[in-house]
């Protein structure tokens, strides 16, 4: 997944509608905090193969935190890569409900003003709780994606690296 700027950011105060035709499968806490606009903006960005700029900045801040913050950051990137691989058709077998669950968790972590606002000292406790719940719930899907990625994406990364090293 490339790091790029898609120019999509959620607007505060948007109505809290859900995508029509989608059955909410996430925990009630997520349904309360995530708007249809936030889900749609994230979906559009991921369909372009990138994360929104505000989300990338947040993930960058999380890399400077403790192990819990790193857990959130790494799993957000993993979930985003899984969705991108699903969107481009290279990774198959993700149900619509699992895809929505991943999107909702990402949208929740992206949101600064959620159940525990992120500016508080304990502000990422709720984000970590949601991320851990999703990783447990979707563990077989995550395991299958990691195995697929090792077989299909990592070898290409190494061959690209070797070609660049020879050019230097």
68 in a structural domain: yes
Quote the number of domains for the chain: 1
Distance set, CA 59 to CA 49, 70, 73, 96 (Å): 16, 9, 5, 25
Regarding pTM above 0.85, the answer is: no
10 in a structural domain: no
40 in a structural domain: yes
Mean pLDDT of 75-91: 95
Spatial neighbors of 90 by CB under 8 A, at least 6 apart, are: 152
152 in a structural domain: no
12 in a structural domain: no
Mean pLDDT of 154-163: 62
Q: Would you state the torsion angle of the CA atoms of residues 105, 111, 114, 120, taken in this order, to the nearest 10 degrees? A: 120
Domain carrying residue 96:
28-139
Let me know: does 28 contact 36? Beta carbons within 8 Å: no
165 in a structural domain: no
Q: Rounded CA gap, 100 and 33, in Å?
A: 15
111 in a structural domain: yes
């Amino acid at each position: 997944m490339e790091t790029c700027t898609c120019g999509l950011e959620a607007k505060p105060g948007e109505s809290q509608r859900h995508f029509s035709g989608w059955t909410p499968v996430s925990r009630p806490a997520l349904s309360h905090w995530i708007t249809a606009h936030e889900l749609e903006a994230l979906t559009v960005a991921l369909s372009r193969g990138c994360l929104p700029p505000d989300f990338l900045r947040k993930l960058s801040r999380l890399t400077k935190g403790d192990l819990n913050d790193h857990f959130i950051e790494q799993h957000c990137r993993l979930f985003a890569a899984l969705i991108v691989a699903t969107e481009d058709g290279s990774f198959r077998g993700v149900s619509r409900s699992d895809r929505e669950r991943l999107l909702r968790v990402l949208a929740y972590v992206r949101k600064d003003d959620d159940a525990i606002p992120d500016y508080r000292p304990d502000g990422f406790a709720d984000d970590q709780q949601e991320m851990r719940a999703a990783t447990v719930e979707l563990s077989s899907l995550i395991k299958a994606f990691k195995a697929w990625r090792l077989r299909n994406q990592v070898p290409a990364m190494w061959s690209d690296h070797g070609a660049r090293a020879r050019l230097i």
